[in-house]
Structure 1
Amino acid sequence: MATPSPTTIHDVYYSSTYVRLLFDYLSLQGLDAQQVLGEARPADADRGLGRYAGRHWRQMLERAAAALQDPLLGLHLGQQIRTAHLGVLGYVLHACRDVGAALLRWQQYDRLIAHVAQMDVRVEPHTVTIEWRNAPESMGALVDETALTALVQFARNITVGAPQIEAVRFPHPRPADVTPYEAYFGCPVLFDQPLPGVRFAADLLQQPLRQPDDALLDLMEQQARTLLAQLPAGDELEREVRQAITRQLQSGEPSLEPIATAMHITPRTLHRRLSDRGLQFRQLCDDTRRQLAENHLRDPRLSLAEVAWLLGYSEHSAFTRAFRRWTGVSPQQWRSGSG
């Protein structure tokens, strides 16, 4: 199987079916999900082709965790995963005969659910290790904990017996209390690891699933291949808008209207197309500025005032405030490496 090319920041996304998990969970907690998250639930009719940028998904989880006052949201949310939250892929996995067959299909069709990092499966004589490599940036504890909990929970949902996990690894710092993690996963849970991942006994690959159905599997795989073909290899619209934002920064604050005019579409159409991808113009401006800021700060020939000017800030103080919001440190601290 060909090795996928490395994911870039611009390509990171989660599918709308997966994002619906958060809306469903908030409703179960008695909250108005739309009010908490500040946006409408993804339409059921999009079959999972709606995409949410990685940082957008992280921000949604952060808002939900704050509203629920639940630092363990990822652990709790992932346990509510259901077949429908994985869209067509969920039904493909559900119809497989054993864990090994399901794992193979997950590798084939994982882009239907998310495109964040390369899924690396290592099968050794006694163990299987799944790790996610080449992510362009860390998505954070909430995102990783939701994803790995959902993976383990879904395996438990569809497998005969209780599949045992030998180890779970997270790249974020160890929390003060790991008891809830070990109680759920039933194995050592390691933090501060190079990559997120899980390890389990190789015998689990032969463990049968609860509802194998060859006819349904064939039908669902046909749908999965069709949907996969409809996913663009990259997002030209996002790249075009980011390039236009970069050009506009040379003359001040970017705005959507002139970019839409240059693209020969109406501002309303551009707003809708970005929204369909789970993107917002203000977020793109902010993220583009942050990336440019880091690139400029690596160039020792540029003063901090010049970097601020190149990013369209009329005052150095405004740039410093924005950079602190992005990174938690000042531009000078970031440049010197003390941040």
Structure 2
Amino acid sequence: MTTTSDLYFSSVLSYLALNNVDKHECLAAINFSEFDTLAKGSRVSVAHYQALLQLGESLTGQSLFGFYLGQEIRTADYGVLGYLVESSDTLQNAITALLQYDSLVADIGKAQYLQDHHKASIRWTPYNQLCKQTVLRNMTAWVAVVRKLINPSLTPLQLQLVHTLSEPDCAQLAAWFKCPVKTNCEFNQIDFPLAYLDLHFASDNPMMHQVLKQLSLEQLNQLHSKQTVAQRLLSILMSKTDLLGLNQERIAAALNFTPRTLQRRLQQENTSYALLLDQERKRRCEQLMQKYKLGAVAAELGFNEQSSFNRAFLRWYGCKPSIYKKQLQAQSQISY
């Protein structure tokens, strides 16, 4: 089960309270009144977290609710990771901490660092399909934190989002991020100049950073010890740029299991490698179809034959991929 920290969830309630929305009414509306009785440090399911964000959108009437929420992020909302980032000496080290310990805040997606000769990028891929408010909060909060800790005028090169947004909403995002915003993309990604990596934090505290790093590692180990084998396997699949050439033997080795042991452990969790791979293929499929031709989509998803992809697609969506692609194109034209 993907989760967020109780602090990260609670910060949404605090933001709603500033907008005159009652906390207890919110919890009751999403069938989570027991939140107030949870022990400190408890985890909250992504289902409850998303339900709260969507309720916030409805109650405030803000189509960019997650964007406004992300701007109000505080170091404390990230828990120990927030203070670890704050005590970093450079942005590069802060990003390293973020990539390693992001799941302490929200174990709902995979953050990756990418770099070429012209730019650096942070790409965030949810483990499951998430609402746009969840994505908007994540991407906005990262930029907001860096601006607060280094320089409020820092500007990304580009923001990419997988969701469809209206032109007015895109314009509002572009005005705040101060960079081009692209929607209907394959990834959620922020690009920024390579020179930013060497920028220093005014709150740099080397001794405190080492202490917080050790604490973060301990908390991460505790979180991982509670993860199922299926969750760990899905995390590996999510981290792959494409699914070409993957098989159970390679995944078992990555998990330090033999193929037989992996198969047995997954059976104990009432699942299998084939089912989890199928789940990941379906999760990626629609986004890939918006960008690539069907043959390329099949290859990216790791199908050796187009006919195998067609059969899987028919099982997922109840129609041929060519028909579904035409529907996606028609919806995209209507949106704009």
TM-score class, shorter: 0.5 to 0.7
Rounded Cα–Cα distance in structure 1 between residues aligned with 2:5 and 2:316: 36
Q: Deviations over 1:239-262 (max 9, x none)?
A: 9xxxxxxxxxxxxxxxxxxxxxxx
**Local SS of the residue matching 2:162:** coil
Partner of 2:145 in structure 1?
Answer: 154
Q: Structure 1 136/226 Cα, relative in aligned 2: closer, same or farther at 3 Å?
A: closer
Partner of 1:175 in structure 2?
Answer: 166
Residues 1:104 and 2:92 aligned together: no
Rounded Cα–Cα distance in structure 1 between residues aligned with 2:181 and 2:27: 30
Amino acid at match of 1:203: A
Determine which structure has the larger helix proportion and give its number: 2
Asked if 2 retains the 8 angstrom alpha-carbon contact of 1:55 and 1:139, the reply is: no
* Structure 1 residue ranges without an equivalent (≥5): 1-9, 240-290, 299-331
Asked if 1 retains the 8 angstrom alpha-carbon contact of 2:108 and 2:128, the reply is: no
- Per the normalisation by structure 1, the TM-score is 0.64
Q: 1:118, CA displacement in angstroms?
A: 2.3
Partner of 1:205 in structure 2?
Answer: 197
Q: How many residues align?
A: 239
- Per the normalisation by structure 2, the TM-score is 0.64
Amino acid at match of 1:46: K
Partner of 2:268 in structure 1?
Answer: none
Equivalent residue in structure 1 for 2:114, among 108, 111, 122: 122
Q: Structure 1 129/237 Cα, relative in aligned 2: closer, same or farther at 3 Å?
A: closer
Q: Deviations over 1:181-202 (max 9, x none)?
A: 1111110011000010100000
Partner of 1:52 in structure 2?
Answer: 44
Q: Deviations over 1:36-70 (max 9, x none)?
A: 232455679624xx222223211111111111121
State how 1:130-145 maps to structure 2 within 5 Å: 130-133=122-125, 135-145=126-136
Residues 1:74 and 2:66 aligned together: yes
**Local SS of the residue matching 1:187:** coil
Rounded Cα–Cα distance in structure 2 between residues aligned with 1:126 and 1:155: 20
Deviates more, 1:221-230 or 1:154-163: 154-163
Q: Structure 1 147/42 Cα, relative in aligned 2: closer, same or farther at 3 Å?
A: farther
Rounded Cα–Cα distance in structure 2 between residues aligned with 1:52 and 1:101: 28
CA RMSD of aligned residues (A): 2.9
Partner of 2:319 in structure 1?
Answer: 336
4+ runs of 1 displaced by more than 3 Å? Answer: 39-45, 232-239, 336-339
* Structure 2 residue ranges without an equivalent (≥5): 232-274, 283-314, 325-336
Rounded Cα–Cα distance in structure 1 between residues aligned with 2:88 and 2:13: 28
Q: 1:336, CA displacement in angstroms?
A: 3.2
Asked if 2 retains the 8 angstrom alpha-carbon contact of 1:169 and 1:197, the reply is: yes
Deviates more, 1:167-176 or 1:84-93: 167-176
Deviates more, 1:79-88 or 1:102-111: 102-111
Asked if 1 retains the 8 angstrom alpha-carbon contact of 2:110 and 2:127, the reply is: no
Q: 1:237, CA displacement in angstroms?
A: 12
**Local SS of the residue matching 1:336:** coil
Asked if 2 retains the 8 angstrom alpha-carbon contact of 1:122 and 1:129, the reply is: yes
Identity of aligned residues (%): 21
Equivalent residue in structure 1 for 2:207, among 203, 207, 215: 215
Q: Structure 1 44/188 Cα, relative in aligned 2: closer, same or farther at 3 Å?
A: farther
Q: Deviations over 1:103-160 (max 9, x none)?
A: 1111111111122222221122231011124x44220211101110111111111114
Greater Rg over alpha carbons, structure: 1
Asked if 1 retains the 8 angstrom alpha-carbon contact of 2:162 and 2:183, the reply is: yes
**Local SS of the residue matching 2:201:** coil
